[in-house]
Amino acid sequence: MKARAPASTSNLGPGYDVLGLALRLYVEVEVTPAPRLRIESQGEGSDLPADGSHLAAAVVRSVLGHDRVTIAVRSSIPVSRGLGSSAAVAVAAAAAAGASDPLRAGAIADGHAENAAASVLGGLVAAAMIDGVPVARRLPLDSHLGYVVVVPDRHLPTKLARSVLPETVPIDDAVYNLGRMGLLIAGLADSSLLLPAAGDDRIHQGARSALFPEAPDLLELLRQAGATVACWSGAGPAVLAICADTRATTGVQEAAERALAKLDLPGHATVIEPDLEGLIITA
C-alpha cells in the first residue's frame, strides 16, 4: 500500500506539545512485500541510513511483526527543522503497512501526539496522550489566515531542543501560556480576533534560543514586516509567521528573506498553505 502524510508545525507559541497545524509539504511511503528489508529514499532525508534503524522500518516492523518488505520513501519535508518530518514518516509508514490506527502507531513511534494528529487529520488540531493513547480533535481554522515558514539551513534535533528545557515551570508562566493559548485558538478560528500577544510563550522558546541565538531577532523582524504572530515551528530552527490576512504573506516572505541575509543565516522563506486533508491512503 501507499500513503501520503503532510508536514506539521507545532506549539504555535504557547501551545507547547498540544497544538499542531498540518502544512502542504508531504512524505509518501509505499510498502511492498520483499524477501528482505530494502529502503529506497528520495528527497529530504535520503541521506539517512537505509537500514533497520530507519524510522519507517521500525514502524513497519511494529505493525507487521517483520520487515521483509521494500519501503519506498519520498519526502519534501526538511529533516530536523521543526516541521514534523518524523511524525509524517511514522504515520505514513504505519498506514502503508496496514495499521488499523496510524495515529496511535505514529504517535507512539514519534513521541509527539500533536504532530502525528496534524499529519493524520489535517488542519489545526489539539492532541494529548491519555492513558498512553493519543486523543486528538480538529479545531476551527479561518481560511483568511496566511502563513510563511522560514527554514534555516541547519539542523536542530528535537532531543537536543528538549534537553535545554526546565524540568519544572513556575505557576505564573503556566497561566501565562494557558491564557495566550486560549486567545490563539480563538484567533485562529476568527482572524479578526488574532492578537500578536496570542503567540507569546514562556515555556520553551526562550530556553531554546541558546541553541538558535538568531531566533529572537528573526521573530521580531517578521512581526515588524506584518506577521500578526511569529513563533518557533516545533523545536525549530524553522520559524512560522501567521498573518491575519493572506495578502500580507508576500511582504512577510520578502522581509524574511532580507532578514536571513541581515542575520547572515543561510536558508529560505516560503509562503505555505495549511493541509486540510491529512493522511491519504491508496492501494
Q: Using alpha carbons only, how large is the chain's radius of gyration in Å?
A: 18
CA distance 238 to 10: 11
What pLDDT does residue 282 have?
Answer: 87
| 67-80: b (≥16 Cβ within 10 Å) or e | bebebbbbbebbbb
CA distance 75 to 258: 28
What pLDDT does residue 49 have?
Answer: 86
Q: Where do the domains of the chain lie? A: 2-139+275-282, 146-272
Question: In which residue are the cell numbers 504532530 written?
Answer: 115
- CATH fold of 2-139+275-282, please? Ribosomal Protein S5; domain 2 (3.30.230)
Tens-place pLDDT, residues 39-97 = 999 999 888 888 889 999 999 999 999 999 999 999 999 998 999 999 999 999 999 99
CA distance 169 to 109: 27
- Backbone CA torsion sign across 28, 25, 274, 60: positive
Tens-place pLDDT, residues 222-272 = 999 999 999 999 999 999 999 999 999 999 999 999 999 989 999 999 999
**How far from the centroid of its chain's Cα atoms is residue 157's Cα?**
13
- Which grid coordinates are listed for 265? 543565516
Q: Which of 135, 26, 15 is nearest to 84 (CA)?
A: 26
CA distance 184 to 141: 11
- Residues 6 or more apart whose Cβ sits within 8 Å of residue 93: 3, 29, 31, 55, 56, 59, 60, 63, 71, 73, 106
Q: CATH classification of 146-272 is 3.40.190.10, yes or no? A: no
Asked if pLDDT for residue 283 goes beyond 80, the answer is no
Tens-place pLDDT, residues 89-142 = 999 999 999 999 999 999 999 888 999 999 999 999 999 999 999 999 999 999
Strands, E, within the chain: which ranges? 2-11, 15-33, 38-43, 69-75, 124-130, 133-139, 146-152, 229-232, 239-243, 267-272, 280-282
DSSP lists the bridge partners of residue 2 as: 30, 282
Q: Which of 73, 47, 49 is nearest to 60 (CA)?
A: 73
Tens-place pLDDT, residues 138-171 = 999 999 999 999 999 988 888 898 899 989 999 9
Helix/strand number for the chain, H first, E second:
9, 11
Q: Which of 192, 139, 148 is nearest to 15 (CA)?
A: 139
Do the domains 146-272 and 2-139+275-282 match in fold? no
